A and B are shown apart, each in its own frame.
Chain A
Amino acid sequence: MDDVWRSLARYRVMASSRHHGIRPFQEADIDDVARLWDSVLRPSSSLLTPDTQGFLQRTLVSSPWADPELPSLVYVQGDGRIGGFLGCCVRRMVFDDRPIRAVCAAHLMIDPTARARGAGALLLGRFMGGPQELSVTDTASAAARAMWKGLGGHTLHLGSVGWAHILRPGRVARTLVARRLGSESWLLRGAAQPMWLLADVVLRYGIQTVYQKLPAEGVVGGTSTEPLTATAAAEHLPAVAAPFRLRPDYDAPYLESLFHDLDRFGQGVPVSRLVRSGARVLGSYVYLLRYDSISPVLHVTARERDVDAVLGHLFENAKAHGAAALVGRVEPHLQEALHRDSVFLFSADARRLIHSHDPKLINVMRSADVLMTLLDGEWWWH
């Protein structure tokens, strides 16, 4: 069967590569797309790896879930040059116990000379008309959001709210100043360090005085953690995720590949832990540790009754390893547990957008019956 798909994909590429317009992305396009990335996307991208080709190869071509029926797309201009690109990252999921294919749309980029030619609309329109059951994106710009909506997509408002757990307020303030003023600002030089240390103590004391229980709440006695390896995740996460109507359909090869990519391309040191209470697995978490800085949380998975315990372990781990703060996205299964005093909610810059021809899938994406974390989306963006 795989051979049939491969032949079909080859035929489609050959048939379509004779013309300009939209066609499936193929491995031979990587250098051209990487050049487009470096000229269009890199100035505003948080992906720091210099190896754009390697990143595209790993995440789009070599992924165990890469599917020739759901290819990334390129827009070929009249002169034969690639003027636009839309990455399609396939995510296998289970919906009401049947397998479905979701696709995370990423890296929409258009050569400025092609922008006026409607290439973005054609790429998005072709993508959204694909055979996947569910389309998702986490990082849409305002223009992409408007196009997505016009083409029948929806904004997940809850998925567009962020949460933050502050561990070192002075350090967080320092990080925000660095982002705003640049790392060369006099406010960040050696002489100003005592000011930040003092700010840390004063702000932390203030927060503790107000909330009085920072940050150990939720840690349950008798629980323990161990490394979340790809093998452990493949073994334990299906049972933890089983109560959700829509959930990832992880398998060992995909998880191996994902953990490898996190190590190679993650913007921080990946910390992945499985949380147990005796023999019972409560859940797991993954975050990118940035010492003394703001660390993004990519994945917290647990049954509703265990989310508090898993979050508690996450907060303790981040504190012990020197993170200044944790930030994540409010996901439906985390809502209740995030109603804790030490967590702040904020409106995130990025929006989660979805599209499906199945109204049941739209409804479940808006409900608490879905488990789809940032690890299943554009984790590299953080």
Chain B
Amino acid sequence: MMQRSQTEIGAILRRTLTESLHIEVPPDGAGLISRGLIDSLALVELLMAIESEFGIRPDFHLLEIEDFETLGSIEQFIIKSQASTDISRSGQTVSRDMS
């Protein structure tokens, strides 16, 4: 999956939240959870969209609700997850090469 810049991630996220999940994102991108804009069902839909758009399958053992509080925190979650996915993939490549 192609890596995207933080700006691109932010734009895709805003578009997904607005067009697919019909969530009116505040201009500051904050309070998505605490203002009740994202409920459980919307969170699942958002995670599905993130998986489809960025190739990230979330690990619910590491997931914190705060990761979804602002547009910025979701961007950071995606960047961190992409990085750990890349490390994991390169680890698998090394393992295969060694065998």
Query: How many chain B residues have a CB neighbour from A under 8 Å?
Result: 21
A129 and B61 within 8 A (CB): yes
Q: Does A110 lie at the interface of the complex (its beta carbon under 8 Å from any beta carbon of B)?
A: yes
Q: Provide the residues of chain A in CB contact with B65, threshold 8 Å.
A: 21, 117-119, 122
Interchain CA distance A349-B98 in the complex, whole Å = 54
Q: Provide the residues of chain B in CB contact with A121, threshold 8 Å.
A: 40-41, 43-44, 47
Q: Does A115 lie at the interface of the complex (its beta carbon under 8 Å from any beta carbon of B)?
A: yes
Q: Provide the residues of chain A in CB contact with B47, threshold 8 Å.
A: 121, 125, 150-151
Q: Provide the residues of chain A in CB contact with B48, threshold 8 Å.
A: 150
Given A116-B39, A146-B41, A150-B48; A126-B33 close (CB under 8 Å): no
B60 and A115 within 8 A (CB): no
Residue-wise interface mask of A (148-162) relative to B, using a CB-CB cutoff of 8 A (1 in contact, 0 not):
001100000000000
A118 and B43 within 8 A (CB): yes
Interchain CA distance A143-B39 in the complex, whole Å = 11
Q: Does B85 lie at the interface of the complex (its beta carbon under 8 Å from any beta carbon of A)?
A: no
* Chain B 1-54 interface residues, beta-carbon cutoff 8 Å to A: 33-34, 36, 38-45, 47-48
A117 and B44 within 8 A (CB): no
Q: Does B94 lie at the interface of the complex (its beta carbon under 8 Å from any beta carbon of A)?
A: no
Q: Provide the residues of chain B in CB contact with A71, threshold 8 Å.
A: none
Q: Provide the residues of chain A in CB contact with B43, threshold 8 Å.
A: 118, 121-122
Q: Provide the residues of chain A in CB contact with B34, threshold 8 Å.
A: 117
Interchain CA distance A118-B38 in the complex, whole Å = 7
Q: Provide the residues of chain A in CB contact with B91, threshold 8 Å.
A: none
Q: Does B64 lie at the interface of the complex (its beta carbon under 8 Å from any beta carbon of A)?
A: yes
Q: Does A188 lie at the interface of the complex (its beta carbon under 8 Å from any beta carbon of B)?
A: no
A151 and B39 within 8 A (CB): no
Q: Provide the residues of chain B in CB contact with A110, threshold 8 Å.
A: 40
Residue-wise interface mask of A (101-136) relative to B, using a CB-CB cutoff of 8 A (1 in contact, 0 not):
000000000100001111111101110110000000
Q: Provide the residues of chain B in CB contact with A146, threshold 8 Å.
A: 41, 44
Q: How far is the CB of B19 from chain A (nearest CB, A)?
A: 18
Interchain CA distance A129-B45 in the complex, whole Å = 17
A118 and B40 within 8 A (CB): yes
Interchain CA distance A123-B65 in the complex, whole Å = 11
B61 and A118 within 8 A (CB): no
Q: Provide the residues of chain B in CB contact with A22, threshold 8 Å.
A: 60
Query: How many chain A residues have a CB neighbour from B under 8 Å?
Result: 21
Q: Does A147 lie at the interface of the complex (its beta carbon under 8 Å from any beta carbon of B)?
A: yes
B61 and A147 within 8 A (CB): no
B64 and A150 within 8 A (CB): no
Residue-wise interface mask of A (179-219) relative to B, using a CB-CB cutoff of 8 A (1 in contact, 0 not):
00000000000000000000000000000000000000000
Q: How far is the CB of B91 from chain A (nearest CB, A)?
A: 20
Interchain CA distance A151-B40 in the complex, whole Å = 12
Interchain CA distance A62-B38 in the complex, whole Å = 37
B41 and A115 within 8 A (CB): no
Q: How far is the CB of A40 from chain B (nearest CB, A)?
A: 14
B44 and A119 within 8 A (CB): no
A115 and B58 within 8 A (CB): no
Q: Which of B42, B44, B61 contacts A151 (CB 8 A)?
A: B44
Interchain CA distance A102-B36 in the complex, whole Å = 34
B36 and A143 within 8 A (CB): no
Q: How far is the CB of B41 from chain A (nearest CB, A)?
A: 6
Give 14 CB contacts A-B under 8 Å.
Answer: A116-B39, A118-B33, A118-B40, A118-B65, A121-B43, A122-B63, A124-B40, A125-B44, A125-B60, A125-B63, A126-B61, A126-B63, A150-B44, A151-B44
Given contacts A110-B40, A121-B47, 16 further A-B contacts (CB under 8 A): A115-B40, A117-B33, A117-B65, A118-B33, A118-B42, A118-B68, A119-B40, A122-B60, A126-B63, A129-B60, A143-B40, A150-B44, A150-B47, A150-B48, A151-B44, A151-B47
A-to-B contact residues, CB < 8 Å? 21-22, 110, 115-122, 124-126, 128-129, 143, 146-147, 150-151
B-to-A contact residues, CB < 8 Å? 33-34, 36, 38-45, 47-48, 58-61, 63-65, 68
